[in-house]
Structure formats: structure tokens, C-alpha cells
């Protein structure tokens, strides 16, 4: 018997399948450097671990409020208000099992069959599949050469079926950070055509070169009403395994998502939420140390890998997204997927192909691993090229 059309219509995550393959090779004793990973190698800060252990000891191990603990949602609202001059309260916040889960909830709540969502390309792998799982249709639009938003192509892609424009800043895979002017342009389009804006800001604190992240919902009251902000504790606080993400949106949207969540997973892991609460209280100095180290790794990786192909310096997230078309031609390969396999087999370096993000002739190189690994990966690639 065949499984559902719904599940057959989606693609497996290329980053997850490559990670599984690498884990298998490592188990077999292969020495592989993983520049494919979407998480820094830093340990979760100790106060977060301690708060989680304390919550377990205090028996915070039961069902809790579906939308998330009151004190955590209050804490998140306070954090957002202070950081972005918003006017949110706990009723605007809903916790999920990572921001992947939040995206799933959003599309299930927002879309009817055939509704369209505009997604600037290249894009993070989960966006189109999450739209498709809700019966929606992803409509890809090209970004500019420097990977910034192209408002003209976005407007041209809007049809009667369009329900939302999805943006992701700082961006995975390109590292682009969108400026306030372009983001205001997206708000204007949303207002003109009565659309929602879905803003994935999982990398909000990871910006470099003195560039600042702009939270689109804080641009105006209209922007706040239109925007569904998707956020995560994963990357900012080195908590990928805790599975804590959240949605910030107008109350009526949160209420509908909450209805769905009540039948889907219920509350997020209760004791993990105490860890997240502690993350909000972390010394800002500690976070600055992490982002400074990532900026150092970015400069190192950019300098080293620029020897092989042209690379635009990223302003955020932790990825380089070079154009490798000349290298593909030189090696006589068919595309980025073949290049990625070539690097894995010959140099034992795992890097994701651009095609996984909707853009051929590129690679996505993560610089979230240690400086030593970045240097060694460069050495190995140089040796085979």
C-alpha cells in the first residue's frame, strides 16, 4: 500500500541525510571534517544546563501549558521588547519544538490547498517542504546578485492565491542580512495585497562586519500585525537539542495555532523550557564571546576558501555560499551535488551542495566548526585540487 500523497510530495532533508551518512562513515573510522553542520561546536552555556537539571530535580516533568510556560513567554516578550522596541506580551508568544515545528504550525494554520507562499531563492531546505505539507505551493523568486531581496520580482510573483511572503534574515544559506528599507518594502507589499509576512530570524544574534539585524515586525504597528516572527533558541544559545523555538504574532493568530498545537504535540518539553528561561538571563558578555569567535572563524574561512573560488563575505548566520561554477567545469563534474560528493570522497570534507538550497553551482560551507577544522579542511581540499 502506498503512503499518503502528502508525504510522497516532499523531499527528504538533504542536510539531515548527509549528516546521517557522515555519522555512519565516522563510526566506520573515517576521519571526516563536517563543514555541513548547522550548529556551532560550542557547549551549551553551563547556567542553562544547571537550570534544566534543577527543573528536573524539582519535578518539572509533567504536562504544562500548551502555548508554553507563562514565565517563559513573559521573559521572551520582555527580551523582544527591549531588543527591538516592540510592544509584545505573553499572549503574542507560543513555544514550539524548535522553529521547524513553528513553521509547520504556521503553514497548517494559514494555508488552504493551492495557496501560494513566496520564497526568495536560495532558501533553507525546510521552507518549501513545510509549505507543501500544508497543501500550499511554494513560489520561488530570485534574489539580487548580492542575495538581497528583489522587491520587484516579489511583487511580480504575487497572484490572487498568494497568502504570504517568507523572508529569512540573517539568511541560511547566503549569510545575507536584509536592511530596514527593503524590509519596509516587504511590509508595504503585504499591506497592498493583504498578505502575511513570515520572518524566520533563527540567526538573529549572529551578525558580523558591524551589520545589525532588523526585526521586521518592529518597523511599525502595521508590520507587527502582518508578521509571524519565527524564532529559535537553537543557534543563539547553543541549544539545538533542547528543541525550543517560538512564534511571535498577533493574538488571534496565536490562538488558532494554539488550537492546533493542543492536538499535535501539546506542550514543549517542560524542563527544557526552564533551560530556555535561564538562557534569557545569560550575561550578554558570554553571548558576545560566542559571536566574536564566529566572526573570527568567518574571516578565517573566507580568506582560506577564497583561494579556490569567489566568495561574498557574509554579514550573518554561519555559512559561506560561494559560486563554484568554474571549479565544477574544471573538474568535469555535472553540478554541485557531484562536487559535494567529490570533496567528501577525495578530501574527506563534508559540504552541502547549493542545489539543496535551490541554487546550482554553489556550495554551502559552514564555519561553525573550530578554527583547526577549518584550516585542516582547507589543507585537504587544496591537496586534491
Instruction: Name the residues that contact ligand PLP, by CB under 6 A.
Output: 38, 98-100, 124, 168, 172, 200, 202, 232, 234, 240, 245
Cβ-based nearer residue to ligand PLP, 122 or 381: 122
The x, y and z cell numbers of residue 221, run together, are: 504597528
Q: Tell me the C-alpha distance between 282 and 9, whole Å.
A: 42
Give min distance, CB of 167 to ligand PLP, in A.
10
Give min distance, CB of 200 to ligand PLP, in A.
5
Convert 222-243 to b/e letters by CB count within 10 Å (16 or more is b): ebbbbbbbbbbbbbbbbbbebb
Do 162 and 116 contact (CB within 8 A), yes or no?
yes
- Site of grid cell 582560506: 304
Cβ-based nearer residue to ligand PLP, 109 or 234: 234
Report the length, in residues, of the chain.
385
Cβ-based nearer residue to ligand PLP, 129 or 188: 129
Q: Tell me the C-alpha distance between 281 and 261, whole Å.
A: 27
Q: Tell me the C-alpha distance between 346 and 381, whole Å.
A: 8
Question: Which residues make beta-bridge pairs with 230?
Answer: 200, 247
Q: Tell me the C-alpha distance between 90 and 68, whole Å.
A: 9
Give min distance, CB of 311 to ligand PLP, in A.
19
Do 10 and 132 contact (CB within 8 A), yes or no?
yes
Q: Which residue is nearest to ligand PLP (CB)?
A: 98
Give min distance, CB of 234 to ligand PLP, in A.
3
Give min distance, CB of 103 to ligand PLP, in A.
7
Cβ-based nearer residue to ligand PLP, 168 or 215: 168
Cβ-based nearer residue to ligand PLP, 39 or 256: 39
Cβ-based nearer residue to ligand PLP, 217 or 234: 234
Give min distance, CB of 61 to ligand PLP, in A.
22
Do 228 and 253 contact (CB within 8 A), yes or no?
yes
Cβ-based nearer residue to ligand PLP, 139 or 364: 364
Angle at alpha carbon of residue 135, lines to 129 and 141, rounded to 5°: 55
Give min distance, CB of 126 to ligand PLP, in A.
7
Amino acid at each position: 500500500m502506498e503512503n499518503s500523497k502528502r508525504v510522497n510530495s516532499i523531499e527528504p532533508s538533504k542536510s539531515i541525510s548527509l549528516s546521517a551518512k557522515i555519522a555512519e562513515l565516522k563510526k566506520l573510522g573515517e576521519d571526516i571534517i563536517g563543514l555541513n553542520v548547522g550548529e556551532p561546536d560550542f557547549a551549551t552555556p553551563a547556567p542553562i544546563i544547571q537550570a534544566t537539571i534543577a527543573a528536573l530535580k524539582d519535578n518539572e516533568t509533567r504536562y504544562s501549558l500548551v502555548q508554553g510556560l507563562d514565565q517563559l513567554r513573559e521573559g521572551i516578550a520582555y527580551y523582544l521588547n527591549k531588543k527591538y522596541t516592540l510592544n509584545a506580551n505573553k499572549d503574542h508568544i507560543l513555544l514550539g519544538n524548535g522553529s521547524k515545528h513553528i513553521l509547520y504550525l504556521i503553514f497548517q494554520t494559514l494555508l488552504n490547498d493551492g495557496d501560494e507562499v513566496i520564497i526568495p531563492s536560495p532558501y533553507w531546505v525546510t521552507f518549501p517542504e513545510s509549505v507543501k505539507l500544508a497543501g500550499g505551493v511554494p513560489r520561488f523568486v530570485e534574489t539580487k546578485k548580492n542575495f538581497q531581496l528583489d522587491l520587484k520580482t516579489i511583487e511580480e510573483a504575487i497572484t490572487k492565491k498568494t497568502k504570504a511572503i517568507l523572508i529569512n534574515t540573517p539568511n541560511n544559506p547566503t549569510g545575507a542580512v536584509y536592511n530596514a528599507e527593503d524590509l519596509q518594502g516587504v511590509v508595504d507589499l503585504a499591506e497592498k495585497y493583504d498578505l502575511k509576512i513570515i520572518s524566520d530570524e533563527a540567526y538573529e544574534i549572529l551578525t558580523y562586519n558591524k551589520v545589525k539585524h532588523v526585526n521586521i515586525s518592529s518597523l511599525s504597528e502595521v508590520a507587527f500585525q502582518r508578521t509571524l516572527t519565527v524564532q529559535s533558541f537553537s543557534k543563539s544559545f547553543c541549544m539545538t537539542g533542547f528543541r525550543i523555538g517560538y512564534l511571535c504574532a498577533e493574538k488571534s493568530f496565536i490562538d488558532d495555532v494554539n488550537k492546533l498545537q493542543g492536538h499535535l504535540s501539546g506542550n514543549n518539553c517542560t524542563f527544557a523550557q526552564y533551560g530556555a528561561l535561564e538562557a534569557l538571563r545569560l550575561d550578554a558578555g558570554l553571548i558576545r564571546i560566542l559571536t566574536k569567535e564566529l566572526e573570527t572563524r568567518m574571516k578565517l574561512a573566507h580568506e582560506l576558501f577564497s583561494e579556490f573560488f569567489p566568495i561574498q563575505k557574509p554579514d550573518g548566520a554561519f555559512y559561506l555560499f560561494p559560486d563554484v561554477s568554474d571549479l565544477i567545469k574544471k573538474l568535469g563534474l555535472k553540478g554541485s551535488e557531484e562536487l559535494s560528493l567529490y570533496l567528501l570522497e577525495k578530501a574527506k570534507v563534508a559540504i552541502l551542495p547549493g542545489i539543496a538550497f535551490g541554487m546550482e553551482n554553489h556550495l554551502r560551507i559552514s564555519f561553525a566548526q573550530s578554527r583547526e577544522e577549518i584550516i585542516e579542511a582547507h589543507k585537504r581540499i587544496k591537496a586534491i585540487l
